[in-house]
Amino acid sequence: MGLVNLSHVLLKAKERGYAVGAFNFVNMEMLQGILDAAVETHSPVIIQTTEGAIEYAGIDYLASMARMAAEKANIEVVIHLDHGKSLDTVMLALEHGYTSVMIDASDKPYKENLSLTKEAVDRAHKFNASVEAELGRLKGIEDNVNVDDAGSTLVDPEQAKEFVKATGVDALAPAIGTSHGAFKFKGTPRLDMKRLELVASLTGIPLVLHGASSVPKGSIEKANKYGANIKGAAGVPDDIIKQAIKQGICKVNTDTDLRLAFTASVREELAKHPEEFDLRKILGPTRQAVKAIVLNRIGVFGSGNRG
């Protein structure tokens, strides 16, 4: 109960065949919505921040809110750094009580990714924290960087096997065809499940699915109804997520869905109550909107009553 590291929740998930949701937050309302849903369903939960979120809110604010939330909750909570790009950020997170870090050097040559990941593992394990790394490169908007078709590659399973052995990393995010952001597929959604299965059997460690938001139609319709202009958005359907979990995915990241639900809620409040300027009335309902998304995700991942 309370604060645990990533391996603690993912090894159980791997053994029992479900996935634990990792949800990004940038402010108090998002964090409360995520925790409310996890506590209500007795689900373990991973709360995570990107470098962009840390830059926006300050790590002191994010880490102290997250630690307090974890201590208060009667479920297992992991505080994770999402897409840490440097050892400096990794150390900053570890020193602020994060129990898990991602070192993402997937944009660097393989050898550099390997040595940076190994160094992150050595440092994080001294804090009893876990490390996630990435192989191959996802398309789309990652924090503030846009990766196009030419810049993206799928994971090489044999290389993944060697990488995991050489680095001792705890979890691996293999690029298998998802992308970051709200515009994931132009045609039929498709992930490389064969590749995923091969990576799972060759590495033997818990795998992570990035770019996994479902981009719910309801959020898009609500946002557009109240003034947004979001066209052609498409996410990963629930049945594909469930299949990926069967093939070895133990951690599923969700960021876009929360952003869409949050902003759609703000737009609705402002449009329905143009006279309102009480922040509590405008931002308060976002907690429910975020919570509803997380409840749905926990149902898809099968992590309820496992906390």
Binding site for Zn ion (CB under 5 A): 210
Minimum CB distance to Zn ion smaller for 164 or for 208:
208
**Least distance from Zn ion to the Cβ atom of residue 59, Å:** 19
Q: Which residue is nearest to Zn ion (CB)?
A: 210
Minimum CB distance to Zn ion smaller for 139 or for 210:
210
What SS3 state is found at 264? helix
Alpha carbon distance 204, 161 (integer Å):
9
**Residue 82 appears among annotated catalytic residues:** yes
**Least distance from Zn ion to the Cβ atom of residue 282, Å:** 29
**Least distance from Zn ion to the Cβ atom of residue 293, Å:** 17
Minimum CB distance to Zn ion smaller for 118 or for 210:
210
Q: Where are the alpha helices (DSSP H) in 105-216?
A: 110-126, 157-167, 193-203
Minimum CB distance to Zn ion smaller for 75 or for 208:
208
What SS3 state is found at 198? helix
- Residue matched to tokens 């208060």: 72
- Output the CA–CA distances (angstroms, integers) from residue 210 to 11, 111, 173, 268, in the order listed: 18, 22, 7, 29
- Out of 82, 104, 170, 257, which one is annotated catalytic? 82
Tokens of 142: 């990652």
If we measure between CA atoms, which residue out of 151, 52, 157, 141 comes closest to residue 107? Answer: 151
**Least distance from Zn ion to the Cβ atom of residue 142, Å:** 6
Alpha carbon distance 62, 47 (integer Å):
10
**Least distance from Zn ion to the Cβ atom of residue 180, Å:** 6
Minimum CB distance to Zn ion smaller for 67 or for 210:
210
- Output the CA–CA distances (angstroms, integers) from residue 19 to 9, 16, 247, 278, in the order listed: 9, 9, 11, 38
Alpha carbon distance 276, 295 (integer Å):
29
Question: Could you give the residue numbers annotated as active site?
Answer: 82
